[in-house]
């Protein structure tokens, strides 16, 4: 393995690798991300490789195992180049057909094609799938080009040229100015201008500085950081290298949560490979710049995603936030100036340096530039990771990319930004994904979680879910967060169980405001957002719980009752058999009845009934 001593070494190697790559003209791009691995993509990869050996095609066809493509619900997925043929839900048994039919003869296997849930038609090409077509994939697209375990793959597609450019032609101040013009803002949730962090850290008159990549992603349902770090760790490393050069740091850390074993493995492997090539270490690419990265594993606390808690954890202390009256860019890790950025922020840096700030800021709104990866989940047809330009409306994401509601139910709300964000009602769907606009609306872009809810979700229950999550994850250091969340949960639980009063609703608002204003860290300051935003947009649901003792969505068990609609019941007896509490009685072919004393409101009968005879009141 050659040690890259100069910029030219890198260029020559890149060209050579690209030539080697072009010699093999057939590629099966197989997703090996966490989602697809869970649906047995490793077995498919093994089967494909075996099949290629049997067919004696292993020299002309390359199986590239990549990181996540974003369409995890269709996994395992594969794209076959040339032809851009997209197959989904592949089984190991399909390997023979894929190799003999598609790879050898270019035939398309009908049963493996993707069916668009909106139109019901089969789609052959990856680029024609509406889910992908409606996106603007700048970061995610790179995932399918690179095997995350092979730095050669990354160098072949022009990796580390941004670093070479920065080291060769740009002064640290010029890099920071470029980032400033680009308008890049922190992707981890806060949306703080990245250049300002870098500038303050750069200006701090201390020799020893640190950069940290925050990959301690913990929002329920959000996994874009995992996808980027796991799918293309070199991009993150390159971003960190450029950032470290700009601020004058000598050491960096990737703090990745231990629940992401694949990301940990890929990041470690990438760091080792980069060291071997001399891209990390002393005098990188012949310059005077020296820098190294360590990968640290998080201990499993949500609060460790907060910058000061993360630094405390890195120092080996308990992962608890500390007051930030002095910013971490001045007094951070081991009391040295430290720049901490999110995975996605770092991953955006190389292209800004390489293609220029104007390329980056041509997309987006006035205050928010570039693209953002969102984790789209909930009651919609297409779920997965989507990357859109900032300023795209929520409506476009939910309906054009997500394909709209499943089961024909009306979409009611979208929850953005995880536990720190809020719920937006459907009349706010024309709002763009923009840090400032969503903040104004009482939610936030946050790390990019986006959960779509329909009529069957009770918003009070949603608030309760997030409060329960936050109560578990609060570190417990400061009073407003520890006791405030606890009391908010107490009140919301009262409301969902029919004990709520209107005075409590006022108290809830007052308390939520207190927590927002006085909590110690960012987690606490945003902890009341789920409550505040649901109160703002769905107050009538709270009031329905309190005044009418009804849960309009039929979720809160204490406030609902199941009954059988005599008009619709055919007396088939399915519900009677399904009920584990023996609460349903009735003779065959006669209307059945639910005994409400015995009924535990589990909902099994409702899901079993084919005639929609079981209703909730």
Partner 1 sequence: MLYYVNININGADIKAPKGSSVLEVAIEYGICIPHLCHVPGLSDIGACRLCIVENITNGRATITTSCTLKVQEGMIIRTNTDRIKRLRHNIAELLVAEAPNSRAIQDIAVRCGVKEVRYPFRNGDCVLCGRCVRACSEIWHANALGFIGRGKERHVERPLNMREEYCKGCDYCLQLCPMTVPPCDGPMKPGEEYLCGKCESQLMITEDIPESCVWCRLGEGFNCGRYAGLKTVR
Q: Are 352 and 182 in contact (CB under 8 A)?
A: yes
Number of residues that this document lists for the chain: 617
Three-state secondary structure call for residue 330 = coil
CB of 375 to partner 1, least distance (A): 25
Burial class (CB in 10 A: 0-12, 13-18, 19+), 309: buried
CB of 257 to partner 1, least distance (A): 15
Sign of CA dihedral 443, 444, 446, 452: positive
CB of 259 to partner 1, least distance (A): 16
The angle at the Cα of 89, spanning 108 to 103, to the nearest 5 degrees, equals 30
Choice between 304 and 559, CB closer to partner 1:
304
- Footprint on this chain of partner 1 (rule: CB under 8 A): 301, 303, 318, 322-323, 325-326, 471-480, 482-484, 486-487, 490, 503, 507, 510-511, 514, 517-520
Phi-psi domain of 612 (left: phi exceeds 0; alpha: psi -120 through 50; beta: other): left
Choice between 83 and 220, CB closer to partner 1:
220
> In angstroms, what CA-CA distances link 316 with 7, 216, 324?
38, 16, 19
Choice between 474 and 496, CB closer to partner 1:
474
CB of 476 to partner 1, least distance (A): 3
- In whole angstroms, give the CA distance from residue 96 to residue 109: 11
CB of 203 to partner 1, least distance (A): 18
CB of 47 to partner 1, least distance (A): 45
Choice between 49 and 328, CB closer to partner 1:
328
CB of 4 to partner 1, least distance (A): 45
CB of 474 to partner 1, least distance (A): 4
Choice between 175 and 475, CB closer to partner 1:
475
Choice between 467 and 575, CB closer to partner 1:
467
Choice between 482 and 581, CB closer to partner 1:
482
The closest alpha carbon to 167, from 235, 233, 241, 274, belongs to 241
Choice between 453 and 508, CB closer to partner 1:
508
Neighbour-count burial for 315-326, b at 16+ CB within 10 Å, e otherwise: eeeebbbbeeee
Choice between 21 and 322, CB closer to partner 1:
322
- In whole angstroms, give the CA distance from residue 425 to residue 190: 22
HEC-encoded secondary structure of 553-576: CCCCHHHCCEEECCCCCCCCCHHH
Listed in sequence order, the residues at least 6 apart from 449 whose beta carbon sits closer than 8 Å to its beta carbon are: 219, 220, 221, 222, 374, 375, 377, 415, 416, 417, 418, 421
The closest alpha carbon to 415, from 448, 452, 381, 388, belongs to 452
Interstrand relation of 422-425 and 61-66 (parallel, antiparallel or unpaired): unpaired
CB of 343 to partner 1, least distance (A): 24
């Amino acid at each position: 393995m050659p040690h890259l001593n100069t910029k030219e070494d890198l260029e020559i190697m890149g060209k050579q690798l690209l030539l080697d790559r072009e010699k093999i003209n057939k590629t099966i791009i197989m997703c090996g991300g966490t989602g697809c691995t869970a649906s047995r993509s490793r077995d498919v990869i093994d089967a494909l490789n075996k099949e290629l050996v049997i067919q004696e095609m292993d020299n002309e066809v390359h199986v590239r195992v990549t990181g996540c493509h974003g369409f995890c619900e269709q996994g395992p997925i594969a794209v076959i180049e040339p032809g851009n043929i997209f197959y989904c839900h592949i089984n190991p048994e399909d390997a023979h057909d894929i190799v003999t039919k598609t790879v050898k003869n270019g035939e398309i296997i009908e049963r493996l094609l993707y069916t668009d849930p909106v139109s019901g038609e089969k789609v052959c090409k990856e680029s024609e799938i509406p889910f992908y077509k409606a996106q603007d994939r700048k970061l995610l697209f790179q995932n399918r080009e690179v095997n995350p375990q092979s730095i050669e793959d990354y160098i072949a597609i022009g990796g580390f040229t941004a670093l070479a450019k920065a080291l060769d032609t740009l002064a640290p101040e010029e890099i920071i100015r470029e980032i400033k013009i680009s308008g890049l803002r922190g992707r981890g949730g806060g949306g703080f201008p990245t250049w300002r962090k870098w500038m303050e850290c750069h200006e701090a008159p201390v020799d020893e500085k640190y950069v940290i990549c925050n990959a301690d992603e913990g929002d329920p349902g959000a996994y874009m950081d995992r996808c980027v770090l796991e799918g293309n760790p070199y991009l993150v490393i390159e971003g960190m290298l450029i950032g470290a050069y700009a601020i004058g740091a000598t050491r960096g850390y990737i703090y990745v949560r231990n629940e992401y074993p694949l990301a940990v493995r890929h990041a470690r492997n990438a760091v080792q490979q980069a060291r071997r090539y001399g891209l990390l270490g002393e005098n990188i690419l012949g310059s005077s710049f020296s820098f190294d990265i360590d990968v640290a594993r998080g201990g499993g606390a949500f609060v460790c995603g907060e910058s000061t808690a993360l630094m405390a954890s890195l120092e080996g202390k308990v992962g608890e936030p500390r007051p930030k009256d002095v910013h971490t860019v001045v007094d951070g890790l081991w009391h040295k100036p430290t720049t901490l950025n999110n995975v996605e922020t770092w991953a955006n840096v190389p292209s800004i340096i390489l293609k220029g700030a104007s390329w980056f800021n041509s997309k987006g709104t006035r205050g928010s530039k570039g693209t953002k990866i969102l984790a789209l989940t909930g009651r919609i047809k297409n779920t997965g990771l989507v990357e859109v330009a900032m300023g795209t409306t929520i409506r476009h994401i939910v309906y054009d990319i997500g394909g709209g509601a499943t089961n024909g139910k009306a979409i009611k709300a979208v929850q953005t930004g995880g536990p720190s964000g809020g719920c937006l009602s459907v009349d706010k769907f024309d709002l763009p994904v923009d840090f400032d606009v969503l903040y104004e609306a009482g939610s936030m872009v946050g790390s990019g979680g986006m959960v779509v809810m329909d009529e069957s979700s009770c918003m009070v229950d949603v608030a309760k879910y997030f409060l329960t999550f936050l109560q578990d994850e609060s570190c417990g250091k400061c009073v407003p967060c520890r006791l405030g969340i606890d009391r908010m949960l107490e009140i919301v639980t009262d409301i969902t169980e029919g004990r709520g009063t209107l005075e409590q609703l006022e108290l809830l608002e007052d308390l939520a405001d207190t927590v927002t204003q006085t909590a110690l860290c960012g987690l606490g300051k945003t902890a009341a957002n789920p409550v505040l935003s649901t109160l703002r947009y769905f107050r009538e649901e709270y009031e329905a719980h309190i005044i009418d003792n009804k849960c309009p969505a039929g979720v809160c068990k204490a406030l609902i009752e199941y009954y059988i609609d005599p008009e619709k019941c055919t007396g088939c007896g399915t519900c009677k058999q399904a009920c584990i509490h023996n609460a349903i009685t009735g003779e065959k072919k006669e209307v059945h009845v639910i005994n409400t004393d015995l009924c535990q409101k589990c909902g099994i009968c409702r899901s079993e009934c084919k005639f929609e005879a079981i209703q909730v009141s």
